Amino acid sequence: MKEIISHLRKAFDHRVRLGVMSILMVNDWVDFTTLRDNLEVSDGNLASHLKALEKEGYTELQKQFIDRRPNTSYRATAKGRAAFLDHLNYLEKIINMQKEQTD
């Protein structure tokens, strides 16, 4: 159990990866530029984090041409959604624990 939690935390233990998943949770396909503009990161930085999420099987991508220019869109997989919800529960638990300690 502990191992699972530490694994989860590693995948989401970065502002950009957490941000990408937040956006993909409430949208269907989202293209690279939209992700980059909302997260305010460089192309290279975003690309490496997207690759990490894809490797985990949390996102999938689709490439197409719009006005003859390549355009890549991303979507959260069922696995990614489940993992993100687990992560939210995990954050909530920490907050509750901290509350109890201060009470």
Partner 1 sequence: MKESTRHPLDQLRDIHRLMERTSRFIGLSGLSGVGAGCFALAGAVLAQWYLLAGGLASYGHSLYHWPATVHPWGWSPEVFFTLDACFILAGALSSGIYFTTRRAQRKGQAIWDALTQRLLLNLAIPLLAGGIFCLALFYHGIPGLVAPTTLIFYGLALINGSKYTLNELYYLGLCELVLGSVGLFFIGSGLLLWTLGFGVLHIGYGVFMYRKYERNPSSP
Q: Which residues lie closer than 8 Å to 47 by C-beta, 6 or more apart?
A: 32
Task: Say how many CA atoms lie within 13 Å of 20 toward its Cβ.
Answer: 31
Q: Which stretch binds partner 1 (CB under 8 A): 32-40, 50-58, 61-69, 75-83?
A: 32-40
Residue 25 Cβ vs partner 1, minimum distance, rounded to whole Å: 7
Report the residue from 1, 66, 78, 94 that binds partner 1 according to the rule CB under 8 A: 94
Report the residue from 25, 57, 62, 82 that binds partner 1 according to the rule CB under 8 A: 25
Nearest-angstrom CA–CA distance, 96 and 102: 10
- The dihedral through the CA atoms of 63, 65, 71, 73 has a sign that is negative
Minimum CB distance to partner 1 smaller for 34 or for 72: 34
Nearest-angstrom CA–CA distance, 90 and 94: 6
Binding footprint of partner 1, residue count (CB under 8 A): 23
List the interface residues with partner 1, window 33-52 (CB under 8 A): 34, 38-39
Nearest-angstrom CA–CA distance, 1 and 13: 18
Interface contacts to partner 1, rule CB under 8 A? 9, 12-16, 18-19, 22-23, 25-27, 30, 34, 38-39, 88, 91-92, 94-95, 98
